[in-house]
């Protein structure tokens, strides 16, 4: 069927629904299997329902369903990717189709990094008025059917809920049924999808008029009260934020103040001035919805996209609380889900561009310190996948080393950890440096490294012991402990901890000799793993009852 497969190549594609009829007629279909997310939503700290202000990203690019619709990837040069997942809480895939089902590659990438994904249910213009009249102006049965279908779709494709965007005038009968529809949809999504969400876009008022408020008001509050949050329009000023904060009361973090990165209309700041908007929003303790950050790609061009993307998100970092990983194992080769070639074990396997967000790996923090440190993606060389993480910086005069924070962690430390690292030093002075991993633990009187008699670490910083060879029984998993290849250096470490809580994983770059001058370094990270020794030793469960279907040999 054309909905599920590209008519030209027969490749499976992601799709949307265009009408109320299609929505009501939707049923799970055996051709759907490709579109069901295969990655469960990873746990992270703090969880979404904590009371700190959140960051929602709303992705709206050229109508949506571009190269990201190819479920098994495509040979796209310079594609759009998003990878600052540590800094955001919710990802919305937006298009102007009635029912926007997020392309599964986005759900896979976001879930791997602990971020829930919402689709969009939108009605607009005169067609939207007719559609709303059809399902809202009658009895409860009609709108309940729509709510149930939307919840079933999210459950079936394994994404996390809906942004609801009614951008047309409503009759008195239709607007009267809107709050009960939203309450029903929200309840259905909550019961069908663990941690599911329904967010309302600031558009129509309780009298059915279409008038964007740019804030929470008595006129749109009835819709906010019926669901999990409000995404405001973009033309607000400071007084709108003050009034919103007052009216929202204890639910102030459920208001996502809209910031259009394209800066259309009368706005505080977009583009590289987006931080001005965020500063005001955070001063009032509100959440934010960053709309169309693809501006970086569309406006500044594809060629320097990765550099500009890092610059854009670094400019906002001060206002974006980050998230911690709270489960092991942690293993990543930093791939963005794209590349100019594919690498395996440090060797180029297949030249040529590729794009597949489902293959994006767990992404680190991207720390930037003006002139002293930058982290970015390196497409020219990788251990595995399409890219490695390039860490560039300087060791200041008189100092021996610098620690680069890669991941924030929040979990009890198992008694024994194995860590592995693959790296490559670049540049003329690469032989002057040593590279290792450092784990920090939360300050606690009980935390010990090694046995109980050893003194607690004064600052909770632990340098794991270097393992020249893998311990018996783990030779396969830790095979490359002392053997890098193709210019990559491989290292394994172990660390014994008692009653500790993990805090940060950092890359430690140190000088062999102290120096009175500033020393620049460049290090490529190919892979990092943090493994709980106990679960590593246990053999993995065997695959059972495997079946293959829909085979068609050509």
Residue 221 phi/psi, 5° resolution?
A: -60, -30
Strands 448-449 and 489-498, bridge-based pairing: antiparallel
- CA distances to 399, 421, 457 from 505, in Å: 21, 12, 16
**Rounded distance, CA 163 to CA 360, Å?**
25
Specify the pLDDT at position 310.
96
Specify the pLDDT at position 480.
66
The one-character DSSP state at 229 is E
- Beginning with the edge strand found earlier in the chain, give each strand of the sheet holding 324-325 in spatial order: 44-45, 324-325, 401-412, 501-511, 433-441, 461-462
228 touches 49 (CB < 8 A): no
Give 325's contacts (C-beta < 8 A, 6+ positions apart).
Answer: 42, 44, 45, 114, 362, 407, 408, 409, 410, 411
The one-character DSSP state at 456 is P
Specify the pLDDT at position 151.
98
Per-residue pLDDT of the chain (554 residues; tens, 9 = 90+): 788 999 888 899 999 999 999 999 999 998 888 999 999 999 999 999 999 999 999 999 999 999 999 999 999 999 999 999 999 999 999 999 999 999 999 999 999 999 999 999 999 999 999 999 999 998 999 999 999 999 999 999 999 999 999 999 999 999 999 999 999 999 999 999 999 999 999 999 999 999 999 999 999 999 999 999 999 999 999 999 999 999 999 999 999 999 999 999 889 999 999 999 999 999 999 999 999 999 999 999 999 999 999 999 999 999 999 999 999 999 999 999 999 999 999 999 999 999 999 999 999 999 988 878 999 999 999 999 999 999 999 999 989 999 999 999 999 999 999 999 999 999 888 888 999 999 999 877 778 787 554 555 556 888 888 887 777 767 777 766 767 788 999 999 999 999 899 999 999 999 988 888 998 999 999 999 999 998 887 777 889 999 887 777 66
Specify the pLDDT at position 443.
72
Domains of the chain: 16-45+59-233 (3.20.20.80), 330-537 (2.60.120.260)
Return the structure tokens found at 337. 């889900």
Cα torsion at 522, 526, 532, 535 (round to 10°)? 180
Specify the pLDDT at position 451.
56
SS3 131: helix
**Rounded distance, CA 64 to CA 439, Å?**
41
Q: What is the pTM of this model?
A: 0.95
Specify the pLDDT at position 537.
74
378 touches 335 (CB < 8 A): no
């Amino acid at each position: 069927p054309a909905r599920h497969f590209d008519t030209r190549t027969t490749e499976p594609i992601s799709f949307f629904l265009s009408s109320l009829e299609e929505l009501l007629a939707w049923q799970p279909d055996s051709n759907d299997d490709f579109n069901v997310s295969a990655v469960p939503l990873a746990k992270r700290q703090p969880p979404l329902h904590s009371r700190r202000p959140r960051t929602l990203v709303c992705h709206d690019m050229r109508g949506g369903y571009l190269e990201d619709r190819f479920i098994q990837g495509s040979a796209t040069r310079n594609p759009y990717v998003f990878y600052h997942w540590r800094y955001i809480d919710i990802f919305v895939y937006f298009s102007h189709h009635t029912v926007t089902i997020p392309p599964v590659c986005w759900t896979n990438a976001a879930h791997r990094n602990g971020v829930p994904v919402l689709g969009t249910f939108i009605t607009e213009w005169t067609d939207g008025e007719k559609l709303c009249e059809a399902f809202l102006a009658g009895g409860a049965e009609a709108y309940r059917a729509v709510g149930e279908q939307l919840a079933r779709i999210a459950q079936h494709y394994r994404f996390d809920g809906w942004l609801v965007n009614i951008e047309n005038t409503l009759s008195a009968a239709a607007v009267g049924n809107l709050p009960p529809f939203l309450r029903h949809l929200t309840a259905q999504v909550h019961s069908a999808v663990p941690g599911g969400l329904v967010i309302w876009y600031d558009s129509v008022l309780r009298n059915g008029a279409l008038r964007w408020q740019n804030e929470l008001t008595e006129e749109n509050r009835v819709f906010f009260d019926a669901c999990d949050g409000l995404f405001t329009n973009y033309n607000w000023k400071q007084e709108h934020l003050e009034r919103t904060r007052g009216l929202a009361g204890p639910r102030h973090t459920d208001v996502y103040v809209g910031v259009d990165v394209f800066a259309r209309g009368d706005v505080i700041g977009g583009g590289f001035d987006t931080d001005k908007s965020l500063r005001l929003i955070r001063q009032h303790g509100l959440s934010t919805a960053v709309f169309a950050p693809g501006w970086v790609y569309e406006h500044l061009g594809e060629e320097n996209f990765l550099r500009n993307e890092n610059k854009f998100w670094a400019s906002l970092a001060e206002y974006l609380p980050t998230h911690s990983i709270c489960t092991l194992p942690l293993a990543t080769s930093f791939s963005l889900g794209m590349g100019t070639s594919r690498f395996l074990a440090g060797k180029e396997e297949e030249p040529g561009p590729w794009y597949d967000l489902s293959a994006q790996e767990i992404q680190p923090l991207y720390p930037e310190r003006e002139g002293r440190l930058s982290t970015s993606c390196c497409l020219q060389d990788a251990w595995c996948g399409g890219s490695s993480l390039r860490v560039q910086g300087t060791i200041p005069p008189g100092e021996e080393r610098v620690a680069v924070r890669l991941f924030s962690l929040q979990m009890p430390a198992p008694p024994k950890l194995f860590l592995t690292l693959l790296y490559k030093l670049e540049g003329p002075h690469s032989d002057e440096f040593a590279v290792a991993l450092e784990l920090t633990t939360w300050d606690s009187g009980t935390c010990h490294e090694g046995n109980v008699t050893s003194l607690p670490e004064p600052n909770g910083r632990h340098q794991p012991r270097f393992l020249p060879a893998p311990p018996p029984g783990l030779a396969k998993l830790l095979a490359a402990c002392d053997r890098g290849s193709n210019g990559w250096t491989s290292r394994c470490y172990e660390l014994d901890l008692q009653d500790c809580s993990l805090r940060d994983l950092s890359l430690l770059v140190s000088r062999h000799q102290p120096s009175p001058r500033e020393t620049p370094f460049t290090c490529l990270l190919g892979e990092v793993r943090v493994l709980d020794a106990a679960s590593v030793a246990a053999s993995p469960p065997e695959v059972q009852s495997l079946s293959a279907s829909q085979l068609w040999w050509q």
